[in-house]
Structure 1
């Protein structure tokens, strides 16, 4: 284990304990108005999660993935630290700006409002952008083809299949307000 592994572990703990878990507690109490999910969504979400949070621990704490190790210069790993920090900041900011509108799934919650302030004034999908930043940082911090690059390989199809349906759902629910918002902002990764 090296300093970059420790930074990654600390980042996961910051995300889970400081950003994600507080939202999930409130989210579980909310009533859903509409859920737009396909059977393949759960598979993509689960496999993305495995390579986001699970496979890296196998790499860091075991030898199971050692066949896929590679080396990078320290400056590349420090660049990964900066990108990783930006990802955590963007996650925290996006979740805070969403407030009670945050949802773990592609759904509309009772009383949900259109959020267009904070980071949402500049980036239409900052949570997806934060995940892409994490996916870029991970192979710079974890020098392993499986634990490092698995996330971006699996998150990309999730993003490409989910984001257009999410846009459609939001446009149908919020109508002209969302269409106006779409014209003012950029999609997270285009």
Structure 2
């Protein structure tokens, strides 16, 4: 297998993920311009978290794909191991893209890129959200895992997992506190029957 193949697969996945996100980012931008944000708990560290994630999941991988600057950290794998890692990476990216698209479609105008509540915000509890409270984050974890499997480099490969970890650990509890503040008992009950990024055992899926 050519060393170019997993890099191309990563690029295709990255482009598709951005294509899925783009219309939702534009819709949120219009909501911001219209002053439709009811509660915003964005702080200075939020921008630092986003920068860390961007560097780990986009900047460093793209540097690796398009330059030879960090080739010194390449991991030499046997052909069968490289092929297996590439196949698993492609599958993980495909699963992440499917979940990202589904979660965005079901959350629709309730999505915000950071810790915010919009004027029209409602608690979405159907579809994939009947099992997972944060399916978009689950999708990002899958894509970060795919990056580690596709980019056989000690720096670029794990950078996505390491870059996204602080976002997940810090932002998710803050988002859940805000949802609890706004939706009260309804959110508490919802939280008790769902998992964050993995389904809670015994939960029912409502399509």
**Greater C-alpha Rg:** 2
Is 1:81 aligned to residue 90 of structure 2? yes
Alpha-carbon distance between aligned partners in 2 of 1:165 and 1:71, rounded to the nearest angstrom? 40
Alpha-carbon distance between aligned partners in 2 of 1:117 and 1:189, rounded to the nearest angstrom? 16
Alpha-carbon distance between aligned partners in 1 of 2:12 and 2:103, rounded to the nearest angstrom? 20
Alpha-carbon distance between aligned partners in 2 of 1:151 and 1:7, rounded to the nearest angstrom? 15
Partner of 1:156: 165
Partner of 1:12: 14
**Per-residue deviation at 1:149?**
0.6
Alpha-carbon distance between aligned partners in 1 of 2:26 and 2:46, rounded to the nearest angstrom? 22
What is the aligned counterpart of 1:51 among 34, 56, 72? 56
**Per-residue deviation at 1:33?**
0.6
Partner of 1:26: 27
Q: Please list, as runs of the form range in 1=range in 2, the aligned pairs for 1:132-171 lying within 5 A after superposition.
A: 132-171=141-180
- Root-mean-square deviation (Å): 1.3
Is 1:68 aligned to residue 77 of structure 2? no
List alignment gaps of at least 5 residues for structure 2.
200-207
SS at match of 1:108: strand
**Per-residue deviation at 1:115?**
0.6
Any idea what the Cα deviations from partners look like across 1:63-113, whole Å, max 9, x if unmatched? Answer: 111111113411121011111111111111111010111111110011100
SS at match of 2:30: coil
SS at match of 1:45: helix
List alignment gaps of at least 5 residues for structure 1.
none
SS at match of 1:92: helix
Partner of 2:112: 103
**Per-residue deviation at 1:189?**
5.5
Partner of 2:127: 118
Alpha-carbon distance between aligned partners in 2 of 1:110 and 1:145, rounded to the nearest angstrom? 44
SS at match of 2:155: helix
Q: How many aligned positions are there? A: 189
**Per-residue deviation at 1:177?**
0.8
**Per-residue deviation at 1:167?**
0.6
**Per-residue deviation at 1:58?**
0.8
Alpha-carbon distance between aligned partners in 2 of 1:178 and 1:158, rounded to the nearest angstrom? 22
